[in-house]
A and B are shown apart, each in its own frame.
Chain A
Amino acid sequence: MFSVLFLISINKQQNSVGRKKIDFCFIFFSVVTGSWGYIKFERPHQCAIKLVCFPASQIQTVTLIPGDGIGPEISNAVMKIFEAAKAPIRWEERNVTAIRGPGGKWMIPPDAKESMDKNKIGLKGPLKTPIAAGHPSMNLLLRKTFDLYANVRPCVSIEGYQTPYTDVNLVTIRENTEGEYSGIEHVIVDGVVQSIKLITEQASKRIAEYAFEYARNNQRASVTAVHKANIMRMSDGLFLRKCREAAEKYKDVKFTEMYLDTVCLNMVQDPTQFDVLVMPNLYGDILSDLCAGLIGGLGVTPSGNIGANGVAIFESVHGTAPDIAGKDLANPTALLLSAVMMLRHMGLHGHAKKIETACFDTIRDRKVLTKDLGGNSKCSEFTEAICQRMKDMD
């Protein structure tokens, strides 16, 4: 067929081990069929040139922040798996090292902000926060820049990766902008310090409505508000009130309330009784990690941050693991499952299901597993096993 090619970008990158990678992106117009398309020629580590072609209307661009330590290699694994799944995603890599803006204020690099504002959806690897670097944590900076108000962590037991708890299937939704982490502290007198827990109607209403909306969109049966309103009558009381008001608007979702300490007690005895949990910042910080522990830890737990204006950043929440960085030993599962969460958020349920199934089947099979999962395979081998499964599915 007769086509016209337009070169739209050449993207030169160096990966974490210094190898050069060059992408050529074209859009083409087919005179015969009248359709537009997108072609990417890649020169990755090997010499082969790969051709990826999609109808232009389907492709969505996502900002990719590989991060530090094992970040780049697990990001590469995810990109490889997405390609094998033929997911219509174009990655736009950006770095988020903090820089000083005008007026001396710390900010993320303008090109990273621009990319996120344009694409709205991001996938992020682990970021290191150097102690005494003088700037706030990068995660905090991202949260403030994009008003990431909801942290969502689905915790589902993984077959093949045994923990003392089975059949866990719950979601923690944490208010991420205020509460006990408002950062307002002061010294009353020497030896007496006060810390302000800030709870606002606006933030509580926003997170409560998001939780119910999430439950409805993901076919979850109930939402439980986690609180200590018996002790913190005004702050948690306000939060609880907003949850109750939101429940009125979502009668199709069951609403319950439970004290935080009771939730923790019950969680370690029988986590299967829980579904969606919504709570203020500190409680969410605690419970989300607790629940991650139930299913195997931060190395296998996905996470998503929902912001204002349609922005959403999905991320792995484990550390940068500098001791194994660059050695092809990392486990990309957490970042991959976060990317699957991202696909669902974007409505790409078919691709999400395919990748998730391939990942879970590989782990269940227990033949090719990274060291932390109990095996002795490399990151690349684990990635390849998942890609192969998807090829076999087709």
Chain B
Amino acid sequence: MALYRVLSSSPNKPANALQSTLLNMQETIREPMVQDPTQFDVLVMPNLYGDILSDLCAGLIGGLGVTPSGNIGANGVAIFESVHGTAPDIAGKDLANPTALLLSAVMMLRHMGLHGHAKKIETACFDTIRDRKVLTKDLGGNSKCSEFTEAICQRMKDMD
């Protein structure tokens, strides 16, 4: 893996207005990522590295069950999705955690410019989780999917 660094004639001056420094993943991303992920902001990378890092970062925040995802295409197409599995063992039993799909839907609202609604839903979701009273099993509680959903809906009614 090559080390890319934009070199300028004067080391202290950025080579262009947006100083772009593509970091060597080997030495500067993965090890610091598990030691202090707060130092990172937006990371852009080729396919394989993204496959790896996106899952790694999902792990840092709790796994694929709580991680949103969006896919941007040409011609204005965009598909937002939960990236966890189908969980056939709990399918149809009202046990699933809808957080990942919900946060992906919030991402979708923001993409569409509907920031107000996005903020409202996201806040209700995060507050419900923070409250720790009504949580699905994977989040450490023993509530049903419908109960978790109802708790979020109730919060939004209370906001109005």
Where the two chains meet, the residues of A that have a C-beta atom closer than 8 Å to any C-beta of B are 163-165, 181, 228, 260-262, 264-269, 282, 285-286, 289-290, 292-294, 297-298
In the bound assembly, the distance between CA atoms of A13 and B65 in angstroms comes to 60
Asked whether B158 is an interface residue with its Cβ less than 8 Å from the other chain, the reply is no
Our pick among A165, A261, A297 for the contact of B52 (Cβ within 8 Å) is A261
Q: Which B20-67 residues have a C-beta within 8 angstroms of A?
A: 25-27, 30-35, 48, 51-56, 58-60, 62-64
User: Which 6 pairs between the two chains have the least Cβ-Cβ distance?
Assistant: A293-B31, A268-B59, A261-B55, A264-B56, A293-B34, A265-B55
Which chain B positions have C-beta within 8 A of A268? 34, 56, 59-60
Q: Which B62-80 residues have a C-beta within 8 angstroms of A?
A: 62-64
Which chain B positions have C-beta within 8 A of A267? 56, 59
Asked whether B159 is an interface residue with its Cβ less than 8 Å from the other chain, the reply is no
Chain B interface extent, by class: 20 to 34
In the bound assembly, the distance between CA atoms of A266 and B25 in angstroms comes to 20
Q: Chain B interface mostly helix, strand, loop or mixed?
A: helix
Our pick among A163, A181, A262 for the contact of B55 (Cβ within 8 Å) is A262
Asked whether B91 is an interface residue with its Cβ less than 8 Å from the other chain, the reply is no
Which chain A positions have C-beta within 8 A of B90? none
Nearest chain B residue, comparing its CB with the CB of A164: B34
Asked whether B1 is an interface residue with its Cβ less than 8 Å from the other chain, the reply is yes
In the bound assembly, the distance between CA atoms of A262 and B63 in angstroms comes to 10
Nearest chain A residue, comparing its CB with the CB of B60: A268
In the bound assembly, the distance between CA atoms of A266 and B33 in angstroms comes to 14
Given A260-B52, A297-B35, A265:B30 Cβ within 8 A: no
The answer to whether A265 touches B56, judged by C-beta atoms less than 8 angstroms apart, is yes
The answer to whether A289 touches B27, judged by C-beta atoms less than 8 angstroms apart, is yes
Which chain A positions have C-beta within 8 A of B53? 264
Where the two chains meet, the residues of B that have a C-beta atom closer than 8 Å to any C-beta of A are 1, 25-27, 30-35, 48, 51-56, 58-60, 62-64
In the bound assembly, the distance between CA atoms of A268 and B54 in angstroms comes to 12
The answer to whether B26 touches A285, judged by C-beta atoms less than 8 angstroms apart, is yes
Given A265-B58, A265-B59, A290:B51 Cβ within 8 A: no
Which chain B positions have C-beta within 8 A of A165? 34
Our pick among A164, A266, A290 for the contact of B30 (Cβ within 8 Å) is A290
Our pick among B25, B35, B60, B64 for the contact of A286 (Cβ within 8 Å) is B25
Given A265-B64, A286-B25, A289-B27, A294:B58 Cβ within 8 A: no
| Between-chain CB contacts (< 8 Å), 19 pairs | A165-B34, A261-B51, A261-B54, A261-B56, A264-B55, A265-B55, A265-B56, A265-B64, A267-B59, A268-B34, A268-B56, A268-B59, A282-B1, A286-B25, A286-B30, A289-B26, A290-B31, A293-B32, A297-B35
The answer to whether B35 touches A290, judged by C-beta atoms less than 8 angstroms apart, is no
The answer to whether B27 touches A290, judged by C-beta atoms less than 8 angstroms apart, is no
Distance from B146 Cβ to chain A, minimum over Cβ atoms (Å): 27
